[in-house]
Amino acid sequence: MLAITEITSWHWVGFIVVVLILIGIDLGVFHRKAHVVKFKEALIWTFLWFGLAMLFSFGLAHFRTREESLQFFTGYIIELSLSMDNVFVIAVIFSYFRVPLVNQHRVLFWGILGALIMRGTFIGVGIILIQHFHWILYVLALLVIYSGIKTFFSTESGVEPEKNGIIRLTRKFFPVSNDFVGDKFFTRENGRTILTPLALVLLMVETTDLIFALDSIPAIFAVTQEPFLVFTSNVFAILGLRSLYFVLANAISYFRFLKVGLSVVLVFIGLKMILPLMHEQFNFLDKVRITTTQSLLTIAGILLTSVIVSVLAEAFSRKRTK
């Protein structure tokens, strides 16, 4: 049996460098010129990012342990599924601002790059807090359960940029042009540099991801507290989000019950996080253990059920309207 490879700072640096190279190739080669991302192209990129995540998971199984590989994959599925709700909100933002299709990829690229930095910071802070204050896990568990309940009872109210604090603050201190200027975030008008509406869209996408990160990042701590696994699973999920948007944006109506499934997943994850504390308080629960495999199967089953019900409901609805 091969010895387990110890994760060092060089693995962190190597992973980040490879990710930056892949992002650079994506923008500098395949998307150097702005163009409308078609469904087929988006689907290919979605499978490519998924394939890279699976390759990384296999690498963990070979160089580390099968358990860590499974933890990474479970965390990846959790983050990717929770990102789907973010996809639909981004679609509403683009619709609200009437962002031309040709410019949407550029916004998502820089938005996701910012999301990687924000989430990396959140994960680092979260890991430090958990290592020094273990009870933080139970606070995060309650936060995840609350998010699940809130998601279940939330209504589709749409996006209201005029009520977004960041947007209002930006408009107050920076002038904004009335029209889009290609794919530029800045332009010059009357001898001064001003923002374009595309910059406001980018700010909305970033603040939206910030809100979703408050739900998704605590959730992965139910699977593992290993910093490298938490970070890498988040990164792969975020990298695939851009192409996933172009795959799902035109099929939002087919996922009407996905929000319900996501809310159930969040509550399940929160309960799994708080279960160790319940073991200490209730002896009869001491033998109740939820393994990583059971977690993965449960989460996958909930999501698959919500998608199937959504598709059947949409098909039935379309049949009735004919």
pLDDT along the chain (322 residues), means of 10: 78 91 77 73 87 94 91 90 78 83 83 83 85 81 84 65 74 84 84 87 84 78 88 90 78 76 87 70 59 86 88 78 66
Instruction: Give the DSSP H or E segment for 156.
Output: none
Q: Give this prediction's pTM.
A: 0.83
pLDDT of 1: 46
Q: With CA atoms as reference, report the closest residue to 245 among 106, 120, 51.
A: 106
What is the rounded CA–CA span in Å between residue 211 and residue 84? 14
**Length, in residues, of the chain:** 322
What is the rounded CA–CA span in Å between residue 215 and residue 221? 11
Q: With CA atoms as reference, report the closest residue to 126 among 53, 222, 203.
A: 222
Structural domain contains residue 2: no
Structural domain contains residue 155: yes
What is the rounded CA–CA span in Å between residue 248 and residue 285? 41
The residue segments making up the domain with residue 278 are 9-321
pLDDT of 287: 60
Structural domain contains residue 59: yes
> Which residue is associated with the tokens 């469904």?
39
Structural domain contains residue 4: no
pLDDT of 37: 75
Backbone torsions φ then ψ of 175, nearest 5 degrees: -70, 145
E-assigned strand segments in the chain: 186-189, 192-195
What Å distances lie between residue 259 and 10, 152, 156, 262, CA to CA? 39, 7, 10, 5
Tokens of 135: 């009870």
What is the rounded CA–CA span in Å between residue 271 and residue 141? 7
Contacts 24+ apart (CB under 8 A), 159-166: 159/89, 159/92, 159/93, 159/96, 159/204, 161/93, 161/96, 161/97, 161/200, 161/204, 164/203, 164/204, 164/207, 166/203, 166/204, 166/207
Tokens of 50: 């998924």
Structural domain contains residue 214: yes
What Å distances lie between residue 208 and 60, 154, 202, CA to CA? 32, 16, 10
Structural domain contains residue 222: yes
Counting runs of H as helices and runs of E as strands, what totals does the chain give? Answer: 11, 2
CA 270, 241, 251, 199: dihedral to nearest 10 degrees?
A: 110
Strand partners, 193: 188
pLDDT of 232: 93
SS3 187: strand
Contacts of 288 (CB under 8 A, 6+ apart): 275, 279
How many domains does the structure of the chain reveal?
Answer: 1
> Which residue is associated with the tokens 């910059």?
199
Q: What does R_g of the chain's alpha carbons equal in angstroms?
A: 21
